Amino acid sequence: MILIIDFGSQFNQLIARRVREFNVYCQVDAPTVATLDYIKELKPEGIILSGGPCSIYDENSPQVDSAIFDLGIPVLGICYGMQFMVSTLGGEVKRSDKREYGFAELSIKEPCRIFEGIESPTQCWMSHGDSITQLPEGFVPTGTTDNTPFAAAADPSRKFYGLQFHPEVEHSLKGREMLSNFLFDVCKCERTWTMENVVKSSVEEIKATVGDKKVILGLSGGVDSTVAAVLIHKAIGRNLTCIFVDNGLMRLNEREKLEESLTNKLDLNIKFVDASERFLTALDGVSDPEQKRKLIGNIFIDVFEDEASKVDGAEFLGQGTLYPDVIESQSVFGGASDVIKSHHNVGGLPEDMKLKLVEPLKYLFKDEVRALGEEMGIPDDLVWRQPFPGPGLGIRVLGEITKRRLDILREADAIIVEEIKKAGFYKKVWQSFAVLLPIKSVGVMGDQRTYDYTVAMRAVTSKDAMTADWARLPHDLLARISNRVINEVNGVNRMVYDITSKPPGTIEWE
């Protein structure tokens, strides 16, 4: 395995993705976690020191114990990671206020294992302020650019390699090959990180942790909780009880879909709880988005706790926590938390439930979770679902929520999703859905004047939901959707397409 020490680079998760693409397991740990003892116990085959936003001269610049360089483990330092290695081992780094940012041409100067099979010059991507002016003893310069005499350096006898640029980003055209050379030529890693092995080892681990005790899990129908449920089920079978709370704000045929795919095909033990009356009664007359969120979140907790307490002898709570959340909850700079969480978490459970956690996905990235789902035979329809907000359609029926308006929205939404899938855009866009506006407008159908609702369609492209752009869908697809929604959904006579990016808009309308 490879240990990536996270000095705060925005690319740290990308390094991890790259390493895992080569079927090599890696972990990303903050320097505050990666102590010398921790590393000794972990026994990584190689260490990657990531880039970071600091100068090594900053007062609180992140550091690791310099004794890691005495462990005999190969090290690849990237950007700040290289500067940290060089200065720790006796070289010199010059402080600079100017940043070198963007493309550069790297000339390879010395035969170096990292550059094996790569032709010189090669395009790389820089983003650094300080520069190295003198290498430590034992190091040789292996690559230069016009502005950076020590753009790459190595001490081959100790297996220390430094790259001033970022091999993990696409703009470094041969970055993948460089990382691969480090993993396989230098560190002698084996390609054991396959989804087949992940299933096997996760099942063993869950069995060892849970034994013959019972686990409960809140199943939302989203990818993460579904894959977590199937994995835990594989380990402990019917000792897992999944609780699906129908809050009345679900998409069309949600329960049927889950019954068909998970209960019938995979034999999961799912308790469907119809709490829609309770939710809709509480939401009656409420139109403020934040109040809706709070109400929906609180009732969910109540209902879930109620149901959970009926499962006799449950000692564990299964959750679909993913690796990015684990990484982001570690502190790079030693403060309480350097991370501003921007994602809402409605549907979260209180910490005082007194259950021990089972989080079988907590070392996986989202795409690995999908691959794992496929490996275990979960249907595409569930594995490739777009994200869906915890408060469900409650924040897509703008203003007051009524059963009738929810039904209208459900029908319109199902048509949008069906057409988007048929046209091959479902996986290409981040989300595509309907929003029901609280206004009526005049239309004409046949010879009749109508006075009905407007449905807005939202389809966005995005990588992480932090920023998004409206999807440039073909006009004939939009026309087909609009025709179908207006003709087939009773109560709708107008459709609009949302062309707002995020920022300044948000993805959801409430």
Name the residues that contact ligand XMP, by CB under 6 A. 293, 344, 346-347, 387, 389-391, 431, 465, 502, 506-508
* 222 annotated ligand binder: yes
**29: buried, middle or exposed (CB in 10 Å: 19+, 13-18, 0-12)?**
buried
DSSP for residue 187: S
Closest CA to 107 of 63, 140, 76, 151: 151
CA–CA gap between residue 479 and residue 471 (Å, rounded): 15
Nearer to ligand XMP, 22 or 497 (CB): 497
Alpha-carbon distances of 167 from 173, 332, 345, rounded to whole Å: 8, 21, 34
168, 138 Cβ separation under 8 angstroms: no
* 444 annotated ligand binder: no
Nearer to ligand XMP, 446 or 503 (CB): 503
Cβ-based neighbours of 54, under 8 Å, separated by 6 or more: 7, 8, 60, 61, 62, 80
- At its nearest, how many Å lie between ligand XMP and the CB of residue 297? 8
- At its nearest, how many Å lie between ligand XMP and the CB of residue 366? 12
CA–CA gap between residue 150 and residue 144 (Å, rounded): 6
Given the residues 26, 45, 112, 168, the one annotated as active site: 168
- At its nearest, how many Å lie between ligand XMP and the CB of residue 387? 4
Alpha-carbon distances of 34 from 29, 31, 73, 293, 389, rounded to whole Å: 6, 5, 14, 38, 35
- Residue 424: HSE in the Cβ half-sphere, 13 Å Cα cutoff: 1
Question: Is 277 a catalytic site residue?
Answer: no
Nearer to ligand XMP, 270 or 435 (CB): 435
Torsion angle, alpha carbons of 229, 235, 238, 243, to 10 = -20
Nearer to ligand XMP, 175 or 390 (CB): 390
Orientation angle between helical segments 475-488 and 403-422, nearest 10 degrees: 150
- At its nearest, how many Å lie between ligand XMP and the CB of residue 505? 8
CA–CA gap between residue 217 and residue 153 (Å, rounded): 50
* 131 annotated ligand binder: no
* 337 annotated ligand binder: no
Question: Is 344 a catalytic site residue?
Answer: no
- At its nearest, how many Å lie between ligand XMP and the CB of residue 223? 13
Nearer to ligand XMP, 331 or 461 (CB): 461
Question: Is 166 a catalytic site residue?
Answer: yes
144, 132 Cβ separation under 8 angstroms: no
Given the residues 26, 54, 79, 187, the one annotated as active site: 79
Cβ-based neighbours of 388, under 8 Å, separated by 6 or more: 220, 221, 222, 251
* 491 annotated ligand binder: no
- At its nearest, how many Å lie between ligand XMP and the CB of residue 327? 19
- DSSP, collapsed to helix, strand or coil, labels residue 81 as helix
DSSP for residue 337: -
- At its nearest, how many Å lie between ligand XMP and the CB of residue 212? 33
Nearer to ligand XMP, 121 or 297 (CB): 297
* 297 annotated ligand binder: no
Cβ-based neighbours of 50, under 8 Å, separated by 6 or more: 4, 5, 6, 7, 8, 9, 11, 12, 15, 28, 78, 79, 80, 81
DSSP 233-250: HHHHGGGEEEEEEE-S--
* 145 annotated ligand binder: no
Closest CA to 159 of 44, 278, 267: 44
Nearer to ligand XMP, 133 or 506 (CB): 506
| Residues recognised as catalytic | 79, 166, 168
- Per the annotation, where are the binding residues? 220-226
- Per the annotation, where are the binding residues for ATP? 220-226
